[in-house]
DNA sequence: CGACTATACTTGAAGATTAAAGTAATTGTT
DNA sequence: AACAATTACTTTAATCTTCAAGTATAGTCG
């Protein structure tokens, strides 16, 4: 009975008795995934910084605004599309406002809310730098994929993303 | 002849005349990849911060040290394995040193170089928190993959990584 | 209607990262 | 051997992000 208790101890509490260590193939994949999460943004950022004087995150914020109708989004919506906390976004929008690329407007229907609006200057800056950016993304990513990889990768990434943020809404910060 | 010149203008300079915009499938995949590079590290970090009081990057540095022979690596080697600039690593090692998890040693064969060494306390801390970390990685990533996904993903990630840092050595910072 | 809680941000300070210089040792050059 | 260039970091300062509060408006419930 004593042995049984030992064996069941963790199972009953919901914890695995023995860690489910990664196999060497899994470990290899994980190392690559970790490397990618650091190196890919860094590489994309280098091009944008050099050619557009802007960070990847700032570019992405402008891009998400440019696609919204009226080039306008609520801060909280924009934060979601930019994978950002509200706090981070607020600081960045302040900077973008100073550059004249974004403007804040009070939301007419909700007194608490703020709309971020892409200005014409902001749109022009985005438009001017989009070709260089997509070319970089192509060279770094898509030119290295084979037919079928896009669909396969997209599906796998989608499944991982679901778990990373189940309710699809990032917490406040 | 005038038209011909126009057509060749950019081709000759090596620039694409018309940007190679992403298709909607490619765009979808890119958005997911961008989301992953932000959300996955954030999620992993949350577990480590909560349970180990350590950042993902710090954990990774300790892990890369633990696998080296003598639990020792040159700063520049460690920076490579941690996907880090030397500057960033230097700051982090200073912090880890203050916590007693890492120690610096002069390299005996090269007066310019510094070895980072994982202390027993550092190893113990890593050992204590590794199970929780791998369990989180399993839940976030591997439990969501189907058979064959590991090999396929690993291959694709490997190809992208080659382009992101062709010489496999990150520049100094 | 009035308190109470929740939502939607904004702000200020603390902590981390990046960028630019600075230091020191080593290697290559003549 | 002397000098320049390179390598391997470290350090300082500027920038950015996160964290913890703070503010104001909007719903909710008695």
- Cα–Cα distance measured from residue A138 to residue A156, given in angstroms and rounded to the nearest whole number: 20
H-helix segments, B20-119: 24-52, 56-66, 75-81, 86-98
Considering chain A, what percentage of its residues have pLDDT values greater than 70? 86
CB pairs under 8 A between A and B: 152
The reported pLDDT for the residue numbered A168 is 54
List, for residues A110-158, the tens digit of each pLDDT value: 999 999 999 999 999 999 999 999 999 999 999 999 989 999 999 999 9
CB atoms within 10 A of CB B157: 21
Chain A residues closer than 8 Å to B141 by CB: 30, 33, 160, 163
DSSP state of A45: H
User: Do the beta carbons of residue B122 and residue B96 sit within 8 Å?
Assistant: yes
SS3 content of chain B, % helix, strand, coil (to 5): 65, 10, 25
The reported pLDDT for the residue numbered B165 is 75
- Cα–Cα distance measured from residue B148 to residue A98, given in angstroms and rounded to the nearest whole number: 49
Contacts with A, B 8-67, CB within 8 Å:
16, 19-22, 25-26, 28-30, 32-43, 60
Query: CA B73 – C1' C25 distance (Å)?
Result: 19
Tokens of A54: 């802007």
Residues 35-94 of A with CB under 7 A from strand D: 55, 57, 84-85, 87-88, 91-92
User: The whole model's pTM is what?
Assistant: 0.88
The conformational region for residue A72 under phi > 0 = left, psi -120 to 50 = alpha, else beta, is beta
Tokens of B137: 């990685």
How many residues make up chain A in this entry? 173
- Cβ neighbours for B26, distance < 8 A, ≥ 6 positions apart: A142, A150
Chain A residues closer than 8 Å to B46 by CB: none
CB atoms within 10 A of CB A139: 14
pLDDT tens for chain B, 173 residues: list them.
Answer: 444 444 444 555 555 578 899 999 999 999 999 999 999 999 999 999 999 999 999 999 999 999 999 999 999 999 999 999 999 999 999 999 999 999 999 999 999 999 999 999 999 999 999 999 999 999 999 999 998 999 999 999 999 999 887 555 544 45
- Cα–Cα distance measured from residue A143 to residue A151, given in angstroms and rounded to the nearest whole number: 15
The reported pLDDT for the residue numbered B18 is 86
The reported pLDDT for the residue numbered A24 is 95
- Cα–Cα distance measured from residue B106 to residue B88, given in angstroms and rounded to the nearest whole number: 19
User: Do the beta carbons of residue A160 and residue B144 sit within 8 Å?
Assistant: yes
> Which H helix or E strand runs over B10?
helix B2-13
User: Do the beta carbons of residue B103 and residue B65 sit within 8 Å?
Assistant: no
Q: How far is CA A120 from the centre of its chain?
A: 25
Nearest alpha-carbon partner for B46 in A134, A130, A39, A170 = A170
Chain A residues closer than 8 Å to B137 by CB: 22, 30
Q: What is the overall mean pLDDT for chain A?
A: 89
List, for residues A34-93, the tens digit of each pLDDT value: 999 999 999 999 999 999 999 999 999 999 999 999 999 999 999 999 999 999 999 999
User: Do the beta carbons of residue A61 and residue A78 sit within 8 Å?
Assistant: yes
């Amino acid at each position: 009975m004593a042995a049984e208790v030992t064996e069941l101890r963790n199972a009953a509490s919901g914890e695995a008795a023995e860690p489910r260590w990664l196999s060497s193939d899994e470990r290899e994949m994980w190392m690559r995934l970790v490397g990618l999460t650091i190196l890919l943004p860094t590489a994309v950022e280098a091009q944008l910084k050099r050619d557009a004087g802007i960070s990847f995150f700032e570019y992405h914020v402008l891009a998400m605004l440019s696609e919204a109708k009226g080039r306008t989004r609520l801060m909280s919506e924009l934060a979601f599309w930019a994978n950002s906390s509200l706090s981070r976004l607020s600081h960045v929008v302040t900077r973008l406002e100073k550059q004249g690329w974004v403007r804040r407007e009070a939301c007419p229907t909700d007194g608490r809310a703020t709309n971020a609006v892409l200005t014409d200057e902001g749109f022009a800056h985005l438009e001017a730098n989009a070709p260089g950016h997509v070319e970089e993304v192509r060279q770094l990513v898509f030119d290295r994929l084979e037919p079928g990889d896009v669909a396969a990768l997209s599906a796998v990434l989608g499944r991982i993303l679901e778990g990373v943020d189940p309710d699809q809404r990032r917490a406040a910060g």
